[in-house]
Structure 1
Amino acid sequence: MADHPSVPQTRTPETVPGALPGADGSAPAAAAEGLTRRRLLGTAGATGLVLGAAGAAAGYAAAPAQATPLTALGTGRAMFHGKHQPGITEGLQARGHLVAFDLTAGAGRKEAAALLRRWSVTAERLMSGAAAAHDDTGVARDAGPSSLTLTFGFGHSFFTRTGLEKQRPVSLDPLPDFSSDHLDKSRSDGDLWVQIGADDALVAFHALRAVQKDAGGAARVRWQMNGFNRSPGATAHPMTARNLMGQLDGTRNPKPAESDFDRRIFVPASGSKDPAWMSGGSYAVVRRIRMLLDDWERLSVAAQEQVIGRRKDDGAPLSGGGETTAMDLEKRDSAGDLVVPLDAHARITRPDTNGGAAMLRRPFSYHDGIDPDGAPDAGLLFVCWQADPLRGFVPVQRKLDRGDALSKYIRHEASGLFAVPGGAAEGEYVGQRLLEG
């Protein structure tokens, strides 16, 4: 994917609340200086401490003034406040968690507003590299921000639960049924949706745990999925990611530098059918797509390339050129056959063959173990972003339904559609314009 990478920034050390007290109950000296999440364990590691209650307190008090500098990977930082929420235009992240919540019985608009306020405070702190404001687990205390992002969205049912049906966007109408669907309803939809991504697995898990704890009695987890991508720096140079089929995935993604990118991906401030609170927001379609890898891997590389319509090694279209070369849909071989088959996945998904329909793909791969028959439960946590899912995801998926050569090697097992409001301004929480409007 050719999205904007997070820009590493220098962090100002922040005091970590809830630091363990000294033996006499007073705050340790290091806490008075202002400890960052990273310094708490980074300095302890330098002294070889075992973090028991007494040992940790003594270690913090004896911590040196300067800790070992973070690597470039740890310093990457995304901004919480802005026109759009984080986690949409940033580059692919090495680790991700997708989690949906349902409001609990009796919880309504008031409880939802308080929850989004808590989540926003937590997101801002963790994305800066600080600890959570309350009951931090310490899981990531020796790490930097690691490009952590947290993104929040509302499902169709959220508006009924909170009495905000009149503010529900038309674009959030349920997705139609597709012939490739084998959906598990218990792992689909939800009142609230949170996307977490980071370049470090512990940083991502730390955020997941904090979000779950913040939910308190207001919401319960409906489903949760874990994903991964190639780690930044694992290749000699930046390149399009590969999925678990070994294919480059995201070659023709819209790019923020393109003049029509915002129009395709984000809800405009005016002239939209969506309510005003969605200005600057986007719609996320989430699909758990299982890859039938045993069947796929029985194919020769040449046969796989015919299914996709691109070379497996470099992602170039079968019509020739390099990865970014425009596909020649009319090119034929010496026998007169189309070089890119009519049912090739890359042909069917091209925006210029779908009325210009475009979506920004930002997926994670997943692997959830081995089935009793030995087949891997693995595939793609497909996440795509668009200003209007009825003009983005839906027409493309309908066309894939009618004749995609890839369809026999995948199975759509879960689905969700979420309205993701614009970013929170300084002093605001995500969704405030909806919940307090």
Structure 2
Amino acid sequence: MDINRRNLLKGAVAGAAGTALTGGLLAAGARHDADSAAQADLISPDLVPFHGVHQAGLTTPIPQQRFSTHVALDATAANRAELVALFRTLTDRARFLTSGGTPPDLGVGSPPSDSAVLGPVVLSDGLSVTLSVGSSLFDGRYGLADRKPAGLVPMRGFPNDSLEPAVLHGDLFLQICANNPDTVHHALRDIAKHTRGGMQIRYRLDGFGSPPRPAGVSRNLMGFKDGISQPLSTEHDQLVWIQPGSGDPEWAVGGTYHVVRFIRMLVEFWDRVDINEQETMFGRRRDSGAPLDGAAEADIPDYAADPQGNVIPLTAHVRLANPRTPQTTNSRILRRPYNYDNGIDKNGNLEAGLIFVCFQQDIARQFEATQTRLIDEPLVDYIQPYGGGYFLALPGIRDTTDWYGRALLT
């Protein structure tokens, strides 16, 4: 294999900063007397419920919201009381924004205040805000060491990774998703404005998803459908949500472990690979998403009928990631990936790839077991994981009196 594929990244900037967002404010200068057609362009009926047993933004139907930002933060609160105040403020802003509140920066509504809405309806745009905590929050600063889940550890590197310290880990992690990029942008700005002094951005990467083409799940930047095989909603209690008696602290019940991996794709080299070889590496057809032994995206590969890997190679990504055996059924994960495009690196190469996001009950049993099976798969010559971390998405906000991390911090 051409070693230059690996050398492409040497000296390149990983691109911790997010992609440039759409310029301009959404409907700047919009007025209450705008005609109905203009209002229809501004208003999305997709309001993602904020309150519930589990946080929003975790199980939104695929394809999920089209745009996202993934933001790791360092807690700068001086003490436990300030940390509580930070979490309460985060809850207040997320509740306000996701229920249709419009940040004044958006230019929608008159007067420009936190209560501004557009006419009798609100601007929701499918916005969801998800808050997770990292292992470093449980150091000596806030007296939380005895409440740290055993399974919440710093993300470790795997063979074929090139992890960069500047884009690893974090005390907190925010995932903000919506149907339009400026909604995501202004939600993050609103949260940052109201939490100054309590937390500071450590690194950030913005994502986008392509519309289904022609149908089904979205495609990654290698051109293949991503996220086809997912646990059923009836399996989430066994695979996604932390349960009572699991060995995790009671405050974590209803939450889920949140893994984020920034994976650069060496797209220039990938584009030179014959489509048949690409499909052999993935184990699926590029056009339809069907497994190589099937005809449609939803078809389940029959590995038992192909024990030697004559149709779907034993080294194919889909076969290693999910072998579909009784021994590996408990290691499946819920994936919510996004693409990213950061322009070019300092060597003039395209800097693009995948924000791999998954949720599970147990990182070691699920993500790490899956990733271990993928060590040295053929795709490693075309991808380069470089950042991200392990986090725990907090349990849901039950009602208007509840707030992020209440059971953890009180």
Structure 1-normalised TM-score? 0.79
Aligned partner of residue 381 in structure 1, secondary structure: strand
Which residue of structure 2 lines up, in the alignment, with residue 127 of structure 1?
98
Partner deviation per Cα, 1:102-122 (whole Å, 9 max, x = no partner): 122x62321111111111111
Residues 423 and 430 in structure 1, CA contact (< 8 A), matched pair in contact too: yes
2:155 touches 2:169 (CA, 8 Å); kept in 1?
no
Aligned to 1:380: 354
Deviations 1:306-357, CA, capped at 9 Å, x for gaps: 0100100001111123212121225559xx8611111110110115256221
Identity across aligned pairs (percent)?
A: 36
Match of 1:182 in 2: 162
Matched, 1:295 2:269: yes
Does the alignment pair 1:260 with 2:235? yes
**What secondary structure sits across from 1:352 in the alignment?**
coil
Matched, 1:82 2:59: no
Distance change (3 Å), C-alpha of 1:290 and 1:41: closer
Secondary structure at the aligned position of 1:157 is classed as helix
Compute the displacement of 1:175 (Å).
Answer: 3.4
Indicate how the Cα distance of structure 1 residues 140 and 362 shifts in structure 2: closer, same or farther if over 3 A, else same: farther
Q: Does 1:70 align with 2:50?
A: no
The structural deviation recorded for 1:273 is 0.6
Tell me the SS of whatever aligns to 2:97.
helix
CA distance in 2 between counterparts of 1:64 and 1:157 reads: 49
**Alpha-carbon contact 2:27-2:42 (below 8 Å) kept:** no
Q: Which deviations, in whole Å up to 9, do the C-alpha atoms of 1:220-248 show, x marking residues without a partner?
A: 111111111125xx7565x1110000000
Instruction: Spell out, residue by residue over 1:54-113, the C-alpha distance to the aligned partner (whole angstroms, 9 max, x if none).
Output: xxxxxx7xx479895435971101011100000100032111011111122x62321111
Q: Aligned partners of 2:108, 2:365: CA distance in 1, in Å?
A: 40
Matched, 1:286 2:257: no
CA contact (8 A) 1:139 1:203 kept: no
Letter in 2 for 1:405: P
Cα gap change, 1:279 to 1:351, in 2 (>3 Å):
farther
**For the residues of structure 2 that align with 1:342 and 1:389, how far apart are their CA atoms?**
24
Q: CA RMSD in A?
A: 2.5
Question: Matches of 1:281 and 1:337 in 2, distance apart?
Answer: 38
Q: 1-side partners of 2:266 and 2:27: how far apart?
A: 43
Equivalent position SS for 1:137: helix
Q: Which amino acid aligns with 1:113?
A: V
Aligned with 2:251 (options 277, 282, 301): 277
Report the TM-score, using the length of structure 2 for normalisation: 0.84
Contact (CA 8 Å) 2:132, 2:392: kept in 1 or not?
Answer: yes
The reply on whether 1:338 has 2:310 as its aligned counterpart is yes
Task: Using CA pairs under 8 Å that are at least 6 residues apart, name the structure with larger relative contact order, 1 or 2.
Answer: 2
Q: How do residues 2-13 of structure 1 correspond to structure 2 at under 5 angstroms? A: none
- Given residue 346 of structure 1, which amino acid in structure 2 is its aligned partner? V
Aligned partners of 2:43, 2:379: CA distance in 1, in Å?
A: 35
For 2:27 and 2:273, the matched residues in 1 are separated by 48
Correspondence for 2:208 among 228, 246, 249: 228
Corresponding residue for 1:138?
106
For residues 253 and 64 of structure 1, do their structure 2 counterparts lie closer, same or farther at Cα, with a shift above 3 Å needed?
closer
Amino acid at match of 1:184: E
- SS of 2:44's equivalent in the other structure is helix
Q: What runs of 5+ residues in structure 1 fail to find an aligned partner? A: 1-39, 47-59
Query: What's 2:7 paired with?
Result: none
* Aligned residues of 1:96 and 1:195 also touching (Cα < 8 A): yes
For residue 324 of structure 2, give the secondary structure of its aligned residue in structure 1.
helix
Partner of 1:432: 406
Does structure 2 conserve the Cα–Cα contact (< 8 Å) formed by 1:98 and 1:195? yes
- State the partner residue of 2:19: none
- 2:250 maps to a residue whose letter is A
Partner of 1:422: 395
Q: What is the DSSP-based 3-state SS (H/G/I as helix, E as strand, rest coil) of the residue aligned with 1:261?
A: helix
Whether 2:30 is the aligned partner of 1:45: answer yes
After superposition, the Cα gap between the structure-2 partners of 1:156 and 1:337, relative to the gap in structure 1 and judged at 3 Å, is: closer
The AA in structure 2 aligned to 1:220 is Q
Q: CA deviation digits over 1:275-314, x for unaligned, max 9? A: 0111110010000000111111110111100010010000
Contact 1:331 1:340 in 2 (8 A): no
Question: Paired residue for 1:151?
Answer: 130
Q: What stretches of structure 2 of length at least 5 have no aligned partner?
A: 1-24, 110-117
Aligned to 2:4: none
Taking a change above 3 Å as real, the CA distance of residues 64 and 70 of structure 1, as seen in their structure-2 partners, is: closer
Superposition deviation, residue 181 in structure 1: 1.5
Aligned partner of 1:172 in structure 2 is 152
Q: Is the contact made by 1:285 and 1:385 (CA closer than 8 Å) also made in structure 2?
A: yes
- Corresponding position of 1:411: 384
Larger radius of gyration: 1
Q: 1:94 aligns with which of 57, 66, 75?
A: 66
Kindly indicate whether the alpha-carbon contact (under 8 Å) linking 2:26 and 2:107 is maintained by their aligned counterparts in 1.
no
Describe the SS at the equivalent of 1:114. Answer: helix
Q: Do the aligned partners of residues 176 and 188 (structure 1) sit closer, same or farther apart at CA in structure 2, a change above 3 Å counting?
A: closer
**Which residue in the other structure is 1:313 paired with?**
287
Distance in 2, Cα, partners of 1:151 & 1:307:
33
Indicate which of 184, 189, 209 corresponds to 2:189. Answer: 209
